[in-house]
Amino acid sequence: MSDITTDVCIVGAGPVGLFAVFEAGLLKMRCHVVDALPAVGGQLSEIYPKKPIYDIPGYPEILAADLVKNLEQQIAPFHPTFTLGERVEYLDKLDDGSFIVTTVEGTQIACKVVVIAGGLGSFEPRKPAIENLEKFEGHGVTYMVRDPELFRDKRVVLAGGGDSALDWAIYLAGLCKELTLVHRGTAFRGAPESAAKVTSMAEEGQIKLILKSNVTEVHGEEDLQAVTVLVDNATPYEIEADYFIPLFGLVPKLGPLENWGLDLDKNAIVVDTEDYSTNIPGVYAIGDINTYPGKLKLILCGFHEAALMAQSAYNILNPGKKFVLKYTTVNGIQELQV
């Protein structure tokens, strides 16, 4: 039994996902929107809310956050529902051609059509190119600190020079048996006070700081036992370690969508430009997450894609029913009943 039943499940609450609600709503299709972020707006809200955008038709200039606000207002008559703060994980196609979309938290959305408007994808840890690194994932190699207690009285090697490397070095130094911070540069660009704190803790012997260096190898049988650090690109140096935590920021990835059986090309979903359908009937991809010859990653192109997608999706939800293109200038917006 699914938690939510709707006509269209839109994966991604960025501007294109929101506008897809509008285009679907005009054709009387109900939408549920899922996003891993806790708020709508995607990149516009998370990355550049205060930046002006100049290529939205009708707006010589509009702040990203204001565009999101306007889109929310524009889709309000269609009463979309949302699951925010949950990343989609699974897509299951049922015998009748409909879908169950399941999030990482186990929320299930039953729908007839899935629209992926996932923008850059989800952000995942950037992994350094170290042979065998993945073999030790879960056996001493981890890319984030979820429960600091795990590292109590352990020998931990952190790598990185950003804020998270500095912050966790400071926090874990008091918890670990031995904490080593390996950094490629000679100085830190993180928050100055954190950088100063790490330097003084290193001087006091609470943190072992190895600058101008990289972790180049990981060693062990089943569990991690040691890492090799290359100092100054020349001298290898082995450190015994129970945990290695590379903290090199996040990189956008398709994440679980990679396992949905979609045709992909360089981290993007291949679509048919007639209706932005994917190779899975009933699944569409619009906006920055898709690719096709001549693709332009512009919000306005995503809006266009949403309009064509909605026409095609209408035919799935209303087989045999004649589609008539409606102009909003004729009847205005006819609200969907809640």
CB-nearer residue toward other proteins: 196 or 323 = 196
d(CA 66, CA 169): 38
Cα distances (Å, whole numbers) of residue 259 to 88, 208, 262: 12, 41, 8
Residues with Cβ within 8 Å of 43's Cβ and at least 6 positions away in sequence, in order, are: 14, 119, 120
CB-nearer residue toward other proteins: 167 or 275 = 167
**Shortest gap between Cβ of 29 and other proteins (angstroms)?**
30
Cα distances (Å, whole numbers) of residue 59 to 52, 160, 323: 10, 42, 31
3-class state of residue 235 by DSSP? strand
d(CA 71, CA 73): 5
CB-nearer residue toward other proteins: 79 or 253 = 253
First to last CA, the chain: 22
**Shortest gap between Cβ of 162 and other proteins (angstroms)?**
4
**Shortest gap between Cβ of 140 and other proteins (angstroms)?**
18
The residue count of the chain comes to 338
**Shortest gap between Cβ of 98 and other proteins (angstroms)?**
32
3-class state of residue 217 by DSSP? strand
**Shortest gap between Cβ of 77 and other proteins (angstroms)?**
31
CB-nearer residue toward other proteins: 189 or 326 = 189
**Shortest gap between Cβ of 183 and other proteins (angstroms)?**
9
d(CA 318, CA 335): 19
- Strand residue runs (E) in 106-169: 108-111, 113-116, 122-125, 155-159
335 token code pair: 């609200």
Q: Left if phi > 0, otherwise alpha if psi is -120 to 50, otherwise beta: which for 59?
A: beta
Give the residue among 74, 64, 22, 66 at the shortest CA–CA distance from 43.
Answer: 64
CB-nearer residue toward other proteins: 9 or 301 = 301
229 token code pair: 């650090």
| Count helices and strands in the chain by DSSP H and E runs | 7, 23
CB-nearer residue toward other proteins: 38 or 249 = 249
The residue ranges that bind other proteins (CB under 8 A) are: 43, 47-48, 120-121, 126-129, 159-162, 184-185, 188-189, 214, 246, 248-249, 251-252, 266-267, 288, 297
CB-nearer residue toward other proteins: 129 or 325 = 129
**Shortest gap between Cβ of 252 and other proteins (angstroms)?**
5
Give the residue among 124, 118, 33 at the shortest CA–CA distance from 75.
Answer: 33
CB-nearer residue toward other proteins: 48 or 323 = 48
3-class state of residue 5 by DSSP? strand
- Amino acid at position 7, single letter: D
**Shortest gap between Cβ of 268 and other proteins (angstroms)?**
9
CB-nearer residue toward other proteins: 90 or 248 = 248
**Shortest gap between Cβ of 281 and other proteins (angstroms)?**
28
